[in-house]
Amino acid sequence: MTDLPRIPLAGVIGHPIAHSKSPALHGFWLKRLGIKGHYIPLDIAPGDLREALHMLPRLGFVGVNVTIPYKEEVLKLADVVTDRAALIGAANTLIFRKNGKIYADNSDGSGFIANLRQHVPTWNPAAGPAAVLGAGGASRAVIAALIEVGVPEIRVGNRTRLRADALRSDFGAKVQVHEWVQAGNMIEGCAMLVNTTSLGMVGKPDLRVPLDALRRGMLVTDLVYAPLKTQLLIEAEAAGCTVVDGLGMLLHQAAPGFERWFGQRPEVDDATRNALLSL
């Protein structure tokens, strides 16, 4: 009897995992492309990560996305870590190779850039400095990507100064650290502003950074996508800035993993956005 091909399985590992939009997103693409496969939320208890990564390939998994709190820890358990994941210090995409090796990558930065390019095709990264609010994991991915595409100077402000200082020592002199209380001032003269903090998200405190330095023509984007139109984006739009919401980054960071696991590049379009917005 010949073996039937195994139905590929992928998923997202984290703890907790119930809030993740990834299963709905990958499920939408699988259905749309008529691929026989499944994408499953996997709640892995702390302490079980190593064993879970050992077992998942044996159960038919071809890879997983990684979310909080395991994005850093998986780097230690992977056999191959891409340069960008190592630089960021976190992975969001794992591929389980046929030889048993685990390959770890980070597509947050490329997803961030792809979202900007999709919504603002005329965007010129070299146009001027970028102001980045926050110095957490998401900020590291954004800053690595901004440097890669040629942004000449990146001004970072973070509540915890030490984390911003670490960014400068990891990414070099293009990164300039500003005091959190001065974050409003650092926006002056910038071509773009990015919020990578959780401020402004549903259930979190408001972003209180003064925004009077925003000018017509600046590009402003928020990684927060719940709400979709954050107070930052509302104020930026009123000031004549070009604004891009954060939902597209979520969609674009998911596409490379999907392609590696299931063999087809999914399209990130309005139908995909709407499928997530209607959840």
194 binding ligand ATR? (CB under 6 A) = no
Phi and psi at 270, nearest 5°, equal: -60, -35
CA distance 128 to 189: 8
137 binding ligand ATR? (CB under 6 A) = yes
Q: Token pair of 144, please?
A: 């690595």
CA distance 152 to 129: 6
Closer residue to ligand ATR in complex, CB, 30/192:
192
- Helical pair 137-148 and 108-119, crossing angle rounded to 10 deg: 60
158 binding ligand ATR? (CB under 6 A) = yes
For the CB of residue 211, give the shortest distance to ligand ATR in the complex, in Å.
Answer: 15
184 binding ligand ATR? (CB under 6 A) = no
182 binding ligand ATR? (CB under 6 A) = no
Locate tokens 């139908």: which residue? Answer: 271
Query: Which of 41, 134, 256, 266 lies at the binding interface for ligand ATR (CB under 6 A)?
Result: 134
167 binding ligand ATR? (CB under 6 A) = no
Closest residue to ligand ATR in the complex (CB): 136
Which residues lie below 8 Å from residue 67, measured CB to CB, with a gap of 6+? 12, 13, 14, 17, 20, 22, 92
198 binding ligand ATR? (CB under 6 A) = yes
Q: Tell me the window of 23-31, 153-161, 232-240, 245-253 that interacts with ligand ATR (CB under 6 A).
A: 153-161
Q: Tell me the window of 39-47, 156-164, 248-256, 264-272 that interacts with ligand ATR (CB under 6 A).
A: 156-164
**How do 102-105 and 80-81 pair as beta strands?**
parallel
CA distance 243 to 237: 6
Q: Tell me the window of 10-18, 30-38, 76-84, 191-199 that interacts with ligand ATR (CB under 6 A).
A: 191-199
168 binding ligand ATR? (CB under 6 A) = no
Phi and psi at 208, nearest 5°, equal: -105, 10
Active site residue: 71, 76, 204, 229, which one?
A: 71
Q: Is 76 a catalytic residue?
A: no
Which residues lie below 8 Å from residue 276, measured CB to CB, with a gap of 6+? 21, 24, 25, 28, 247, 250, 251
Closer residue to ligand ATR in complex, CB, 8/137:
137
231 binding ligand ATR? (CB under 6 A) = no
Q: Which residues bind ligand ATR (CB under 6 A)?
A: 134-139, 158-160, 163, 196-199, 205
Q: Which residues are catalytic?
A: 71
